[in-house]
Amino acid sequence: MSYLNQNQTPLFSALKDYHQRNVIPFDVPGHKHGKGLMEFTEYVGSTIMELDVNSMKCLDNICNPIGVIKEAEELAAYAFGADHGYFLVNGTTSGVQAMIMSACQPGDKIILPRNAHKSAIAGIILSGAVPIYIQPEVNEELGIAMGVTLESVESTIGRHPDAKAVFLINPTYYGAVSNIKDIVKVAHRNAMAVLVDEAHGAHMGFHDEFPMSAMELGADMSAVSLHKTGGSLSQSSLLLLREGIIDPFTVKKNLNLMQTTSGSYLLMASLDVARKQLVIDGKEMLDRVLRLSRGARDRINEIDGLYSFGTELIGAPGVYHFDESKLGVHVRKLGLTGFEVYDLLRDEYNIQVEMSDYYNIMAIISLGDTEESLNALVDALADIAMKHRREEEIKVINNVLKNPDVIISPRDAYYSNKRVIKLEDAEGEISGESIMAYPPGIPVVSPGERITKEMIEHIQMLKEEETLVQGTEDPYINYVRVLGLGMKR
């Protein structure tokens, strides 16, 4: 069939054809090819605005694709080794939510690691599922959570054989990969679907030296952020399905609950082209990513006080494999926190890394990086180590919180009556909202969980470091919403 020719870009080609026809628009969007928003159009360029169009016969419709979007989605599914592919214009968040809603009904159990993204908690609230948390492995020296072990998943399945799904992360924010292949086998033997948040793994299936993708390893569904590591525009992602446990119609129905009816053609066309690029040029481009990341690691590890961790972690608990495009740097021995180094890089060297925590910073090396950009980062880190080092190292503290006590389901907590109290007075209360640093968007506490002293201290530390903390009604996190009177137990 011609549409399986990966050199083709059916949606992008149709969009270019529409543009060349110079159609006179009497539909939405109201800026009418940019003429109604000239200040913006003059800055970003007329072509972008002329391609920002609405659904029409020649361009298909994301809610019920039967034309060029369908062809583009089928190409994407084939490229990623899935039976079905669905374009996402609400980010991987909508894909994660649709996965959970497709696998779980109200009251169903879902097994997942506690370092899952906030979108998984939102999916649990929307579906009415009950979370069964697995404690991810923790590297105490680095102060970060890794993946989950096969043994911990098996043990949890043994205690909860009625669970409907197992939810995994491939890879974690810092690059750790779990033994997904064997976890899939165990889950399937127990008739459980395997759902994978692959937000940071869009590239992995296109080069043999990266960990394998969820679809290659037999997962039932995965949500893939092509915009993070695959080259497409921000907010564009892909949902993948392997037929069997989960019905394609159910997935489509849930996606149409989650997504806009006015899908951005700029986002969807970028998915079409990014898929083609990964298939045709991905091996060569990812060769460069590996060369750049390995070279940067070697140079960083020559700087006194810095440690850029990588594949040497393989074999440690929760690290079955490692994604080398995640350039994590442990900075504690400089006497600086990761938060401080993050700010120094941005404010003094004009370099923006992906995220930081108390001990580390993390830079993502991807398709658009160059020797020059990596040299700038390494040189800046060397300069920071020379100019800003403190004599006393940052002390090791408990930087990774353990699994919380889930008192009621996130959905019940979300809809329960609540009251507002000071953060410092919240110990022992049941949270009515999520609190997280973003990035990475992993909740410190989620609705329905008991708030502990350690959680409060961790949130206060994040505030002191001026980290972007979100999720609460109070934007300054001085007050939190907890369940109403009589719910503290």
Question: Within this chain, do residues 437 and 354 fall inside the same structural domain, yes or no?
Answer: no
Question: Within this chain, do residues 359 and 417 fall inside the same structural domain, yes or no?
Answer: no
Q: pLDDT confidence of 489, banded at 50, 70, 90?
A: very low
Question: Within this chain, do residues 364 and 414 fall inside the same structural domain, yes or no?
Answer: no
Asked whether the predicted pLDDT for residue 262 surpasses 50, the reply is yes
**Res 435: pLDDT:** 87
Q: What is the CATH number of the domain that holds 299?
A: 3.90.1150.150
Question: Is 277 part of a structural domain of the chain?
Answer: no
Nearest to 446 by CA among 489, 478, 408: 408
CA distance 84 to 221: 10
- The reply to whether omega before 113 is within 30° of 0 (cis) is no
Asked whether the predicted pLDDT for residue 463 surpasses 90, the reply is no
pLDDT 10s digits, 314-328: 999 999 999 999 999
> What average pLDDT does range 447-459 have in this prediction?
90
Question: Is 397 part of a structural domain of the chain?
Answer: no
Q: pLDDT confidence of 399, banded at 50, 70, 90?
A: low
CA distance 239 to 82: 10
Asked whether the predicted pLDDT for residue 407 surpasses 80, the reply is yes
In the chain, % of residues over pLDDT 70: 97
Convert the chain into a string of H (helix), E (strand) and C (coil). Answer: CHHHCCCCCHHHHHHHHHHHCCCCCCCCCCCCCCCCCHHHHHHHCHHHHHCCCCCEHHHECCCCCCCHHHHHHHHHHHHHCCCEEEEECCHHHHHHHHHHHHHCCCCCEEEEECCCCHHHHHHHHHHCCEEEEECCCEECCCCEECCCCHHHHHHHHHHCCCCCEEEEECCCCCCEECCHHHHHHHHHHCCCEEEEEECCCCCHHHCCCCCCCCCCCCCCEEEECHHHHCCCCCCCEEEEECCCCCCHHHHHHHHHHHCCCCCCHHHHHHHHHHHHHHHHHHHHHHHHHHHHHHHHHHHHCCCCCCEEECHHHCCCCCCCEECCCEEEEECHHHCCCHHHHHHHHHHHHCCCCCEECCCEEEEECCCCCCHHHHHHHHHHHHHHHHHCCCCCCCCCCCCCCCCCCECCCHHHHHHCCEEEEEHHHCCCCEECCCEEECCCCCEEECCCEECCHHHHHHHHHHHHCCCCEECCCCCCCCEEEEECCCCCC
Given its phi and psi angles, is residue 436 left (phi above 0), alpha (psi -120 to 50 degrees) or beta?
beta
Bridge partners, 241 (sequence order): 84, 221
Pairing assessment for the beta strands 360-364 and 435-437 based on DSSP bridges: unpaired
- The reply to whether omega before 161 is within 30° of 0 (cis) is no
Question: Within this chain, do residues 377 and 417 fall inside the same structural domain, yes or no?
Answer: no
Nearest to 354 by CA among 345, 367, 363, 365: 363
Q: pLDDT confidence of 398, banded at 50, 70, 90?
A: low
Question: Is 447 part of a structural domain of the chain?
Answer: yes
Question: Is 441 part of a structural domain of the chain?
Answer: yes
Tokens of 90: 């609400």
| Interaxial angle between packed helices 91-103 and 248-258, expressed in degrees from 0 to 180 and rounded to the nearest 10 | 130
Question: Is 439 part of a structural domain of the chain?
Answer: yes
Question: Within this chain, do residues 313 and 375 fall inside the same structural domain, yes or no?
Answer: yes
Question: Within this chain, do residues 293 and 383 fall inside the same structural domain, yes or no?
Answer: yes
* 226-264 burial code (b ≥16 CB/10 A, e <16): bbbbbbbbebbbbbbbbeebbeeeebbebbeebbeeebb
Structural domain boundaries, residue 378: 282-387
| φ and ψ of 51, to 5 deg | -90, -5
> For the purposes of burial, counting CB atoms within 10 Å of the CB of 405, is it exposed (0-12), middle (13-18) or buried (19 or more)?
exposed
Contacts of 155-162 with C-beta under 8 Å, sequence gap 24+, read 156/111, 156/132, 157/111, 157/186, 157/187, 157/190, 157/192, 160/109, 160/111, 160/132, 161/190, 162/109
Q: pLDDT confidence of 400, banded at 50, 70, 90?
A: low
| pTM for the full predicted model | 0.93
| φ and ψ of 190, to 5 deg | -105, 20
- The reply to whether omega before 29 is within 30° of 0 (cis) is yes
Q: Average pLDDT of the chain?
A: 94
pLDDT 10s digits, 86-109: 999 999 999 999 999 999 999 999
Nearest to 414 by CA among 445, 456, 436, 446: 446
Of 393-407, 424-438, 455-469, the range with the lowest mean pLDDT is: 393-407
Q: What is the CATH number of the domain that holds 472?
A: 3.90.100.10
Asked whether the predicted pLDDT for residue 1 surpasses 50, the reply is no
Question: Within this chain, do residues 378 and 425 fall inside the same structural domain, yes or no?
Answer: no
Q: Which residue bears the tokens 């993204």?
A: 117
Question: Within this chain, do residues 297 and 360 fall inside the same structural domain, yes or no?
Answer: yes
Question: Within this chain, do residues 379 and 419 fall inside the same structural domain, yes or no?
Answer: no
Q: Would you say 291 and 369 are in contact if contact means Cβ atoms under 8 Å apart?
A: no
**Res 5: pLDDT:** 92
Last residue of a domain, one of 355, 387, 419: 387
> What average pLDDT does range 466-482 have in this prediction?
87
**Res 14: pLDDT:** 97
Q: pLDDT confidence of 486, banded at 50, 70, 90?
A: low
Question: Within this chain, do residues 291 and 357 fall inside the same structural domain, yes or no?
Answer: yes
Question: Is 241 part of a structural domain of the chain?
Answer: no
Q: Would you say 399 and 462 are in contact if contact means Cβ atoms under 8 Å apart?
A: no
What total number of domains does the chain contain?
A: 2
Question: Within this chain, do residues 416 and 382 fall inside the same structural domain, yes or no?
Answer: no
Question: Within this chain, do residues 361 and 454 fall inside the same structural domain, yes or no?
Answer: no
pLDDT 10s digits, 29-41: 999 999 999 999 9
In the chain, % of residues over pLDDT 90: 85
Give whole-number Cα distances, 198 to 96, 211, 223, in Å: 9, 12, 5
Question: Is 137 part of a structural domain of the chain?
Answer: no
Q: Would you say 385 and 335 are in contact if contact means Cβ atoms under 8 Å apart?
A: no
pLDDT 10s digits, 147-166: 999 999 999 999 999 999 99
Residue type, 479: Y
Asked whether the predicted pLDDT for residue 337 surpasses 70, the reply is yes
**Res 68: pLDDT:** 98
Question: Is 448 part of a structural domain of the chain?
Answer: yes
Of 3-12, 372-381, 400-409, the range with the lowest mean pLDDT is: 400-409
Bridge partners, 419 (sequence order): 482
